[in-house]
């Protein structure tokens, strides 16, 4: 068993695992509960279940439950084995073949965390030169036009240089011959992680048509509240509002094939599931007054994750 990463932040990407653990302990989880969570996570290589004969990327979490007076009430631990959580937390970039074993997919995941690597092609970041999926980070200039940022490789990770008050746009490229659904996270927070609409389906993905790209310009809070992605100091950032104590400063896009009708399903999809549709950080800028329409798709296994880190000039 090997530990690769440790941090004193519990990110929103693993909130569902903590909710499950707390519910098991008999707690009722609400947005405005009187108790607080603090703790740390460690990224491990170990079997995800007792029956596995191979290692997986697993998040082991140690949590202290306290009251609003600062008193510790209970300490507990839990494990998160959901496939994409370790990849998002670590800012990984990798391709995952669909027609391969779970063991091989886990090996790819472990390698992506241990040995970060990204293919940079001009302003696009890919997992490898043959991948049809890419992520591009752009800056909105004062006249409203967009300027692509040039990523550089730093310790194997694609990194862009930003400035405080920059308004960013994230361009999702799909050069595959099929439609794809993309989960976009900023500092581990889903782009709709602040959604206040009761009718909004949490965790909604972006649909990108074949051989096209889609520009994601804002967070989704409500139909009338779509604040842009603004680079700001950490206390004013989205991560701080979610209770994090530091920012992972990473944008990640997880790509899945998707289809509306079964005859549109890519041939290599053999399993399907239906879903409704103290540093710098990314926070909230002025609203771009963008409207969104929810559609339903069948989404396959995740094929690719592309992550781009951001930082200000040293």
Q: Could you tell me if residue 109 is inside a domain?
A: no
Q: Could you tell me if residue 111 is inside a domain?
A: no
Q: Which residues pair with 44 in a beta bridge?
A: 3, 58
Q: In this structure, are 155 and 290 located in the same domain?
A: yes
pLDDT for the residue numbered 2? 38
Contact residues for 102 (Cβ-Cβ < 8 A; gap 6+): none
Q: In this structure, are 270 and 159 located in the same domain?
A: yes
Indicate the number of domains in the chain.
Answer: 2
Backbone phi, then psi, for 275, in 5-degree steps?
Answer: -135, 155
pLDDT for the residue numbered 273? 44
* Number of Cβ within a 10 Å radius of residue 23: 11
Structure tokens at 279: 């540093």
Q: Which residues pair with 283 in a beta bridge?
A: 230
pLDDT for the residue numbered 1? 37
Contacts of 29-32 with C-beta under 8 Å, sequence gap 24+, read none
> Would you say the pTM of this structure is higher than 0.75?
yes
Question: DSSP letter string over 55-111?
Answer: -EEEEEEEEEEE-TTS-EEEEEEEEE--THHHHHHHT--EE--SSS-HHHHHHHHHH
Q: In this structure, are 227 and 275 located in the same domain?
A: yes
What is d(CA 259, CA 178) in angstroms, rounded to the nearest whole number? Answer: 8
Q: In this structure, are 68 and 211 located in the same domain?
A: no
Find where tokens 């995952």 sit: 96
User: How do beta strands 280-287 and 72-80 pair?
Assistant: unpaired
Structure tokens at 91: 């800012």
Give me the tens of pLDDT residue by residue for the chain, a chain 314 residues long: 333 333 333 344 466 566 666 676 676 766 666 666 666 777 778 887 888 888 877 777 777 777 777 777 777 777 777 778 888 888 899 999 988 888 888 899 999 988 999 999 989 999 999 999 999 999 999 999 999 999 999 999 999 999 999 999 999 999 999 999 999 999 988 998 888 887 787 778 999 999 999 999 999 998 888 999 999 988 888 877 876 766 788 999 999 999 988 888 898 886 544 433 356 788 888 887 777 778 888 888 899 999 999 999 87
In terms of residue numbers, what domain contains 64? 2-80
Q: In this structure, are 259 and 123 located in the same domain?
A: yes
Q: Could you tell me if residue 96 is inside a domain?
A: no
What is d(CA 214, CA 179) in angstroms, rounded to the nearest whole number? Answer: 12
Q: In this structure, are 23 and 138 located in the same domain?
A: no
pLDDT for the residue numbered 159? 96
pLDDT for the residue numbered 174? 98
Q: In this structure, are 36 and 179 located in the same domain?
A: no
> Per 3-state DSSP, what percentage of the chain is helix, strand, and coil (rounded to 5)?
15, 45, 45
Q: Could you tell me if residue 113 is inside a domain?
A: no
Q: In this structure, are 124 and 47 located in the same domain?
A: no
CB 106 within 8 A of CB 116: no
């Amino acid at each position: 068993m090997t530990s690769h990463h440790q941090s004193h932040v519990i990110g929103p990407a693993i909130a569902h695992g903590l909710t499950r653990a707390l519910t098991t302990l008999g707690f009722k989880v609400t947005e405005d509960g009187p108790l607080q969570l603090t703790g740390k996570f460690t990224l491990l290589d170990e079997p995800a279940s007792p029956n596995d004969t191979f290692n997986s990327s697993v998040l082991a979490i140690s949590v202290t439950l306290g009251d609003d007076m600062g008193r510790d009430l209970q300490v507990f631990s839990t494990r998160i084995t959901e496939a994409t959580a370790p990849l998002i937390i670590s800012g990984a970039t990798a391709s995952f073949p669909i027609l391969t074993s779970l063991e091989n997919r886990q090996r790819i995941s472990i390698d992506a965390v241990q040995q970060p690597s990204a293919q940079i092609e001009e302003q696009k970041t890919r997992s490898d030169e043959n991948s049809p999926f890419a992520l591009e980070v752009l800056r909105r200039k004062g006249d409203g036009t967009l300027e692509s940022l040039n990523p550089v490789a730093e310790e194997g990770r694609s990194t862009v240089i930003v400035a405080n008050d920059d308004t960013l746009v994230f361009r999702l490229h799909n050069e595959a011959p099929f439609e794809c659904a993309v989960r976009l996270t900023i500092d581990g927070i889903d782009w709709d992680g602040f959604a206040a609409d009761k009718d909004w389906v949490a965790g909604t993905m972006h649909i990108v048509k074949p051989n096209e790209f889609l520009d994601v310009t804002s967070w989704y809070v409500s139909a009338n509240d779509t604040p842009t992605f603004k680079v700001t100091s950490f206390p004013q950032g989205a991560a701080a509002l979610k209770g994090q104590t530091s920012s992972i400063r990473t944008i990640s896009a997880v790509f899945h094939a998707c289809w509306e009708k079964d005859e549109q399903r890519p041939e290599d999809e053999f399993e399907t599931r239906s879903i409704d549709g103290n540093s710098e950080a990314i926070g909230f800028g002025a609203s771009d007054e963008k409207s969104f329409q929810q559609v339903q798709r069948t989404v396959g296994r995740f094929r690719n994750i592309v992550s781009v880190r951001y930082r200000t000039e040293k």
